Amino acid sequence: MSDVATAAPLNPASATPENIVEVRNISKFYGSVHALDKINLSFPKGQMTTLLGPSGCGKTTLLKIIAGLLEPSDGEVLINGKVVNGPGPERAFVFQDFALLPWATVLRNVAFGMELAKVPKAEREDKARHYINEVGLSGFEDKYPHELSGGMRQRVGLARAMVVKADVLLMDEPFSAVDEQNRRKFQEDLLHLLAAENKTVIFVTHSIEEAVYVSDQIVLLSPRPGQIHSIIRPEISRDTSPDDIRRDKKYLDAVENIWTDLRKYLD
Amino acid sequence: MLAATSVTPHAKGEKSDRLFGMSDTLFYRILSVLIVFGVWEIAGMIPISIAFPTFSSTMAAMFEMIFDGRLIYAYGETLKPLGMGVAISAFFGVTIGVSMGLNRLSQWVWEPIFVVLQASPVAALIPLITYAYGIGITAKTVAVIMLAAPIIVLNTYKAVRNANPSLIQMCRSFQGTRLQEIWIVIVPNAAPVIFAGLRLGVAAGFIGVILAELLITPTGIGDLISYHRSIAEYDYMYAAVFTIIVFSAVMVGFLETVEIKYFRPEKKKV
């Protein structure tokens, strides 16, 4: 992730083989509602791409189509150059409402993907413990979700997605149910964690600041029907501290530009 | 290790709400039971009706019937059809309910039957069971099923149908099979409502068996009730009714324990 500043947007051709996820001509109708209209997108390997837009622009729909949780009405999704139908081990999803099993401990929730894959109990719990520690929840292994705060629950959701070693992490407004202070801390932790793992992340949010802060690439979607408005690469160096990034002129300019673009879609 | 400072497990202190050496919930439970029995005793002494015995004479009658074996024998008679009926209703009821929740065709086939059964005045239909099943244990078992099964089936169906869609998507996103989805996510998710249905089903099964004993052939606990009523020994009659309430409550508590132990361990800590 440190090479963001040098990865120029000028060479999309050379980046093509590195696109781990590709979306081709995706359209989606819910009955007569046209949710997505002929979306074509590439997601470079190892980078964080944000789908940003006002409500009703189909960003979550697009993410769930990439995840294989929704069928597109038209078009196809390619992972590593192969067309996929339905979920697969190369993708892991982080849910907006956490989607934790209320009757399972943190440990079992984190290990849930491996439980489904019938990994032996001792092995999967070992791996789960590692990621519980990574997201800062060690000591909470035997707690149940209702005993945790919103931010901690989403850390469980994140650990569950990280532990299955999927190359692509799909995150659906992961911080929207987390309060503002925890949200900032969580964003910083997420970047830190991802830098070490070389994951490709597709991130849905409606927060402009969040998008600019975390993303290598921002896809702005316009609503009714959902179409790509523009693609922005903030080009912010992430070597500096989080506070410096939030004061960086490039960061502030990018936020301002996106806001100027998006405000015309507001009612 | 990230965010270690913001999140550290905190040990929860032991609750200090204690009264007379017991936890406050236990204290209030005992207190509420004592008040009910006290009011019962006073109401019996007034008396509000000659057919309403005091609590103490009811208890005396109950212990007399326990020690001379009448009550034990009666329960032996009653528990056979009740146990079979409830077991059959629970097993098939939950199975059918789950299948209705998962499958439209199954819902289409079963829902009308159980809705009609639940809405119908079963007490009026119970004597008709004898035309098909005679006056033996089968008829009484059928009566239990007619009362218990609809509640169990319809509760289970509603619980499964309303399974949290986000948890199902989560299971799919981790490549869970349909069977895993059902057994590891949908059924435990529905367990609280399924068990609520089972508790109501057990209570309804009790009503069914007593009705059958009153309406088909006088045996067991139903016979104790109707016999003592007919000879105006109301304390014995109330003693029999009282034991049914106690037995029902014990069964319901047992089901709650099973639910928490095997399906919803997180509730234990609440």
For the cut 60, the answer to whether the pLDDT of residue B237 exceeds it is yes
Mutate to test the interface with B, among A140, A144, A197 (most CBs of B within 10 A): A144
Query: Scanning every residue of chain A, which has its alpha carbon at the shortest distance from the alpha carbon of B172?
Result: A87
Q: How big is the CA angle at A86 (ends A83 and A90), to the nearest 5 degrees?
A: 70
pLDDT computed for residue A3 by the predictor = 42
pLDDT category, B16, cuts 50, 70, 90?
low
For the cut 60, the answer to whether the pLDDT of residue A13 exceeds it is no
Nearest alpha carbon to residue B127 among B67, B257, B216, B222: B216
SS3 A64: helix
pLDDT computed for residue B159 by the predictor = 92
Nearest alpha carbon to residue B244 among B205, B201, B215: B205
pLDDT tens-digit map of B71-118: 999 999 899 999 999 999 999 999 999 999 999 999 999 999 999 988
pLDDT computed for residue B160 by the predictor = 93
| Interacting residues of A45 by C-beta distance below 8 A, sequence separation 6+ | A18, A19, A20, A167, A200
Least confident of A107-111, B3-7, B156-160, B239-243: B3-7
Count of C-beta atoms within a 10 Å radius of residue B227? 14
Of residues A214 and B196, more confidence is placed in B196
pLDDT computed for residue A14 by the predictor = 42
Residue B90 main-chain phi, psi, to 5 deg: -65, -50
Q: Which residues of A touch B264 (CB under 8 A)?
A: 102-103
The span from the CA of B261 to the CA of B259, in Å, is 6
Fill in the amino acid letter for A209.
Answer: E
The span from the CA of A123 to the CA of A125, in Å, is 5
Distances (CA, A) of B153 to A178, B157, B193, B199: 39, 6, 11, 12
Mean pLDDT value across chain B: 86
Out of A99, A103, A143, closest to residue B166 by CB = A99
SS3 A29: strand
Which domains, from first to last, does chain A contain?
Answer: 2-90+167-265 (3.40.50.300), 100-165 (no CATH)
For residue B188, give how far its alpha carbon lies from the nearest alpha carbon of chain A (Å).
8
Q: Are strands A48-52 and A200-205 parallel, antiparallel or unpaired?
A: parallel
pLDDT computed for residue A248 by the predictor = 79
Residue A38 main-chain phi, psi, to 5 deg: 45, 65
A102 and B266 in contact by Cβ < 8 A?
Answer: yes
Q: Which tokens hold the place of A212?
A: 């600019």
Query: Scanning every residue of chain B, which has its alpha carbon at the shortest distance from the alpha carbon of A65?
Result: B173
Q: Which tokens hold the place of B231?
A: 């000879």
Contact A218, A50 (CB under 8 A): yes
Roughly how many angstroms between the first and final C-alpha of chain A, as a whole number? 37
SS3 A19: strand
Out of B172, B188, B270, closest to residue A69 by CB = B172
The CA R_g of chain B, rounded to the nearest whole Å, is 23
For the cut 50, the answer to whether the pLDDT of residue A60 exceeds it is yes
pLDDT computed for residue B3 by the predictor = 41
pLDDT category, B50, cuts 50, 70, 90?
confident
Contact A206, A52 (CB under 8 A): yes
Distances (CA, A) of B54 to A58, B31, B70, B170, B221: 70, 19, 21, 58, 21
Q: Which tokens hold the place of A43?
A: 């997601």
Q: Which tokens hold the place of B153?
A: 């089936």
Tokens 């009503």, located at residue: B207
**Whole-prediction pTM value?**
0.79
Roughly how many angstroms between the first and final C-alpha of chain B, as a whole number? 30
| Interacting residues of B237 by C-beta distance below 8 A, sequence separation 6+ | B224, B225, B228, B229
For residue A10, give how far its alpha carbon lies from the nearest alpha carbon of chain B (Å).
35
Mutate to test the interface with B, among A100, A103, A134, A135 (most CBs of B within 10 A): A103
Least confident of A107-121, A215-229, B7-21: B7-21
B9 and A140 in contact by Cβ < 8 A?
Answer: yes
Distances (CA, A) of A184 to A51, A135, A147: 19, 14, 22
B184 and A115 in contact by Cβ < 8 A?
Answer: yes
Distances (CA, A) of B254 to A26, B29, B76, B260: 54, 18, 20, 10
Determine the number of helices (DSSP H) and then strands (DSSP E) in chain B: 11, 2
Mutate to test the interface with A, among B167, B174, B183, B186 (most CBs of A within 10 A): B174
Q: Where are the domains of chain B?
A: 81-269
The span from the CA of B171 to the CA of B182, in Å, is 10
SS3 A210: helix
Q: Which residues of B touch A (CB under 8 A)?
A: 1-4, 6-9, 164, 166-167, 169-177, 180, 184-185, 188-189, 191, 263-266, 269-270
pLDDT category, B186, cuts 50, 70, 90?
very high
The span from the CA of B241 to the CA of B71, in Å, is 11
The span from the CA of B256 to the CA of B264, in Å, is 10
Mean pLDDT value across chain A: 82
Instruction: Write down how long chain A is.
Output: 267
Measured between CB atoms, does A29 come within 8 Å of chain B? no
A99 and B3 in contact by Cβ < 8 A?
Answer: no
pLDDT category, A17, cuts 50, 70, 90?
very low
pLDDT computed for residue B19 by the predictor = 66
B170 and A93 in contact by Cβ < 8 A?
Answer: yes
Contact A230, A52 (CB under 8 A): no
Tokens 């932790």, located at residue: A189
Distance of CA A265 to the CA centre of its chain: 23
Contact B175, A117 (CB under 8 A): yes
SS3 A233: coil
Query: Scanning every residue of chain B, which has its alpha carbon at the shortest distance from the alpha carbon of A149?
Result: B7
pLDDT computed for residue B17 by the predictor = 64
pLDDT tens-digit map of A165-222: 888 899 998 888 778 878 888 888 888 888 788 888 898 988 888 888 888 888 888 8
Out of B1, B164, B166, closest to residue A136 by CB = B1
Out of A87, A103, A152, closest to residue B172 by CB = A87
Q: Which residues of A touch B189 (CB under 8 A)?
A: 101
The span from the CA of A215 to the CA of A63, in Å, is 16
Q: Phi/psi zone of residue A236: left (φ > 0), alpha (ψ -120 to 50 degrees), beta? A: beta
Contact A48, A216 (CB under 8 A): yes
Q: Which residues of B touch A115 (CB under 8 A)?
A: 184
Write the DSSP symbol of residue B184.
I
So what's the architecture of B81-269 in CATH?
A: Orthogonal Bundle (1.10)
Query: What is the arithmetic mean of pLDDT over A228-236?
Result: 80
Helix axes B104-119, B70-102, angle to 10 degrees: 140
Measured between CB atoms, does A89 come within 8 Å of chain B? yes
For residue B157, give how far its alpha carbon lies from the nearest alpha carbon of chain A (Å).
20
Contact A26, A38 (CB under 8 A): yes
A93 and B4 in contact by Cβ < 8 A?
Answer: no
Fill in the amino acid letter for A243.
Answer: D
For residue B264, give how far its alpha carbon lies from the nearest alpha carbon of chain A (Å).
5
With a pLDDT cut of 90, the percent of chain A lying above it is 7
pLDDT category, A267, cuts 50, 70, 90?
low
Q: Which of residues 30-69 of A touch B (CB under 8 A)?
A: 64, 67-69
Fill in the amino acid letter for B206.
Answer: F
Measured between CB atoms, does A182 come within 8 Å of chain B? yes
pLDDT computed for residue B269 by the predictor = 58
Query: What is the arithmetic mean of pLDDT over A246-267?
Result: 79
Interface size, chain A vs chain B, as Cβ–Cβ contacts under 8 Å:
91
Of residues B22 and A45, more confidence is placed in A45
pLDDT computed for residue A5 by the predictor = 41
